[in-house]
C-alpha cells in the first residue's frame, strides 16, 4: 500500500478528531515513504538524492508525533519522535550535499519539538550554522525541492488550527529577506522554527485540535456547508472534502 493511502487515512481521522488513528496512519505513511520514496521508480532510500523524496516520510512521522501529543499519548509521541530523529540522522550520514544535511538537521529539530524532546533549540542552532557554512549558490532551487518542502509542511499544518484554517506560516516567514545572501536566507528557517514551532505545538496540544493539511480551497462554496461550524469555506485534501475552518467533513447542501 502506498504512503499516500495511509496519509489519506490520517486526514480522514483528523476530520473525525480521532488523533490516535491519525498518528497510527501517519506512522504507516512515514515508514512506507521512507522504504519506497517514489513508488515503482525504484529510488534507493539509502542513497543521496538531489530532490530529497524521503522528506515525505520524515514529514509524516513528524506529524504522527504531533497527532499522538494531541491525543494525549505522550509516550507514543516520544517514541515516534525518537524514531524519526534517528532515521533523519542516519540519512545525514550518507547524503553528501551540505545544504541537504543542514535541512536534515532542521528536521531533527522538528522531531524534538513535535515529540516534546529536550534540546530543540540547540539542534536548530546547529542547523542554522550548517546553512551558513553551506551557502549554496542557488538557495531558491534547494528550497523548492521535496526535502525542503516537506520540512515546511509540518509547521504550516500545525499552524492552521490556531489561525482558523488560514495559512499562518508563509514562505517569507520561513526564509530570510535576501536569497542573494544564501547562508542567512536559509538559516532563517531554523531560527524561525526555534521561535515559533514550540508554541504552535503547545497550542494545538492544549486545544486538542490538529488541523488537516491545506489542499485546494474555495471560499463561500454554494454546494457544501460544514455541519460542525456552519462555514461554507471548503478544503479538498487527500480524498476528503473538509471544512477549511475546522477540518470537519462538509455536507452537500
Q: Which of 1, 7, 3 is nearest to 215 (CA)?
A: 7
pLDDT digit of tens for each residue in the chain (253 aa)?
689 999 999 999 999 999 999 999 999 999 999 999 887 677 888 888 899 999 999 999 999 999 999 999 999 999 999 999 999 999 999 999 999 999 999 999 999 999 999 999 999 999 999 999 999 989 999 999 999 999 999 999 999 999 999 999 999 999 999 999 999 999 999 999 999 999 999 999 999 999 999 999 999 999 999 999 999 999 999 999 999 999 999 999 8
User: Under a CB-based contact definition with an 8 Å cutoff, are residues 120 and 162 in contact?
Assistant: no
Residues 22 and 76 in one domain: yes
Q: How far is CA 13 from the centre of its chain?
A: 17
Residues 113 and 144 in one domain: yes
Residues 125 and 221 in one domain: no
Residues 98 and 70 in one domain: yes
Number of domains in the chain: 2
Residues 18 and 140 in one domain: yes
75: domain range? 3-211
Residues 202 and 228 in one domain: no
Question: Which residues contact residue 52 at a Cβ distance below 8 angstroms, ignoring those fewer than 6 apart?
Answer: 100, 103, 145, 146, 147, 148, 150
Residues 131 and 245 in one domain: no
Residues 206 and 220 in one domain: no
Name the strand (E) or helix (H) holding 242.
Answer: strand 240-243
Residues 48 and 82 in one domain: yes
Instruction: Number of helices (H) and strands (E) in the chain: give both, helices first.
Output: 10, 5
Residues 141 and 241 in one domain: no
In this prediction the pTM is 0.97
Amino acid at each position: 500500500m502506498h504512503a499516500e493511502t495511509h496519509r489519506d487515512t490520517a486526514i480522514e481521522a483528523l476530520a473525525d478528531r480521532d488523533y490516535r488513528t491519525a498518528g497510527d496512519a501517519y506512522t504507516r505513511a512515514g515508514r512506507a515513504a521512507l522504504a519506497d520514496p517514489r513508488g515503482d521508480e525504484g529510488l534507493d532510500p539509502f542513497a543521496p538524492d538531489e530532490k530529497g523524496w524521503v522528506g515525505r516520510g520524515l514529514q509524516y512521522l513528524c506529524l504522527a508525533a504531533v497527532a499522538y501529543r494531541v491525543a494525549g499519548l505522550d509516550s507514543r509521541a516520544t517514541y515516534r519522535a525518537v524514531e524519526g530523529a534517528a532515521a533523519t540522522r542516519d540519512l545525514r550520514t550518507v547524503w553528501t550535499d551540505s545544504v541537504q544535511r543542514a535541512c536534515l538537521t532542521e528536521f531533527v529539530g522538528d522531531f524534538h519539538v513535535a515529540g516534546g524532546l529536550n534540546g530543540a533549540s540547540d539542534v536548530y542552532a546547529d542547523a542554522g550554522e550548517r546553512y551558513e557554512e553551506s551557502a549554496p549558490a542557488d538557495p531558491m532551487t534547494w528550497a523548492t525541492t521535496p526535502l525542503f518542502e516537506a520540512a515546511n509542511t509540518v509547521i504550516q499544518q500545525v499552524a492552521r488550527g490556531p489561525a482558523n484554517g488560514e495559512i499562518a506560516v508563509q514562505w517569507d516567514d520561513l526564509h530570510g529577506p535576501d536569497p542573494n545572501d544564501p547562508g542567512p536566507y536559509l538559516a532563517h528557517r531554523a531560527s524561525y522554527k526555534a521561535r515559533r514551532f514550540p508554541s504552535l505545538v503547545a497550542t494545538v496540544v492544549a486545544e486538542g485540535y490538529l488541523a488537516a493539511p491545506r489542499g485546494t480551497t474555495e471560499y463561500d462554496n454554494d454546494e457544501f456547508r460544514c455541519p460542525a461550524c456552519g462555514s461554507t469555506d471548503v478544503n479538498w485534501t487527500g480524498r476528503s472534502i473538509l471544512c477549511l475552518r475546522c477540518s470537519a467533513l462538509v455536507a452537500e447542501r
